[in-house]
Copies of this chain bind each other. A is one copy, B any other.
Amino acid sequence: MTTETATVNLVTAEAFLQNWQAHRRLTRKVIAAFPEDQLFTFTLGGMRSFGQMALEMIGMAVPVAAGVGTGKWGGFEYGKPGTKADLLALWDEQTPLLDEAFRAIPPDRFWLVTKAFDQWEMPGMVMLQYSVDNEIHHRGQGYVYLRALGIEPPVFWERD
């Protein structure tokens, strides 16, 4: 069966998007679990606060989907909110925008090489995968912050 692996289609674009949105729902719960006064201040090992990491995720998701879809990029910009409520509101605002931008990607652009944020050259799909993986990576770090703060993080396998 070995020879078939290369051509078996495993993930449709829509399934990829659904998996990403499921991860975004979990990330939202992690943001929500932080005490207001720790979200943008608590750190370990000289790293960024989880609030700052979440603003990076916001700076990536919709701009990456739109950039892959259109080939038009601007420089990378973090999301801007400074309070937990603002961050959650911006997160929710991005949810339908991500669906829209992602579903507007012309199929032939997923594997077209693009220059993400006018800086990083790679196929669109590689940048999309990177954005999801980056979110999982930093959210895992948010779990450590929560544990260190004595707070039980949301269950990893629940994505509702």
- Give the interface of A toward B (CB within 8 A): 1-2, 4-17, 19, 23, 44-47, 102-107, 110, 125, 129-130, 133-134, 136-141, 143-150, 156-157
Contact = CB atoms under 8 A, between A and B. Distances in A.
Interface majority SS (helix, strand, loop, mixed), chain A:
helix
- Report how many copies the assembly holds: 2
B10 A13 contact: yes
A13 B2 contact: no
Contact of A103 (B2, B106, B137): B2
A58 to B, nearest CB: 18
Of A8, A12, A156, most buried by chain B (CB within 10 Å of CB) is A8
Contact of A140 (B14, B46, B139): B139
A107 B14 contact: no
A44 B8 contact: no
Contact of A141 (B2, B130, B144): B144
Contacts of A10: 11-13, 15-16, 110, 125
